[in-house]
Copies of this chain bind each other. A is one copy, B any other.
């Protein structure tokens, strides 16, 4: 393999990622256990349900999705993972992965052997703290999605989704208002518990309202404050909307 390893200290994601707060010898300890396998093409899988858990992964570039599969083959997308985000925590619990992790475009990842990582965590308190933070963040993300699936209507879900993606791109140094969605409408629908057609209709709807501009996967958010308003679940906006738009 003739790939040059990107050191954490040189990585532009270092402030979103595990190395946050690490320097010098401690950072080196982390760098030593990181492997960087060759990039994966769209549709390749890092792991399948039941695979033995050995590694945590971090997306370095590209995008991944993780999804659970039921006995009957139905699948529910649990999350989309952008650069700097952790993948594989579902395997910690009982030593086997429960999800599938699949790339959505050409993607490269870092690979962390979990037992080695735990060793370093035992020595480096800052790293321990950082890993725990990322684990907990994953819980919050899931809870956010639970709220969307449990209490929001289609309009609110799609608005929340767009805001979420926009915010995460922004954190990574990209534009918050103009970006390219890495996932299909069908993925979005699966993720949000909606039919493809409903997602598409909501996009059209926002476009009619001149809140976003949509052409296929290219998105321009024209009025982010409006999207935020929509995701507020109270009745206030709903009334306003009726007053202004009907």
Contacts and interface: CB of A to CB of B under 8 A. Distances in A.
A155 to B, nearest CB: 15
Interface in A130-153: 132-133, 135-140, 142-147, 149-151
Given A139-B89, A139-B93, A72 B232 contact: yes
A136 B233 CA distance: 30
Contacts of A137: 93
Nearest to A118: B128
A87 to B, nearest CB: 12
Contacts of A223: none
Contacts of A191: 150
Identical chains bound together, number? 2
A89 B132 CA distance: 9
Interface string A149-173: 1110000000000000000000000
A122 interface: yes
Given A70-B233, A118-B132, A147 B76 contact: yes
A19 interface: no
A107 interface: no
Which 7 A-B pairs rank lowest in CB-CB distance, beginning with the nearest?
A: A72-B234, A92-B136, A93-B136, A149-B149, A150-B193, A142-B142, A76-B147
6 contacts: A68-B144, A68-B147, A72-B232, A73-B234, A78-B143, A149-B150
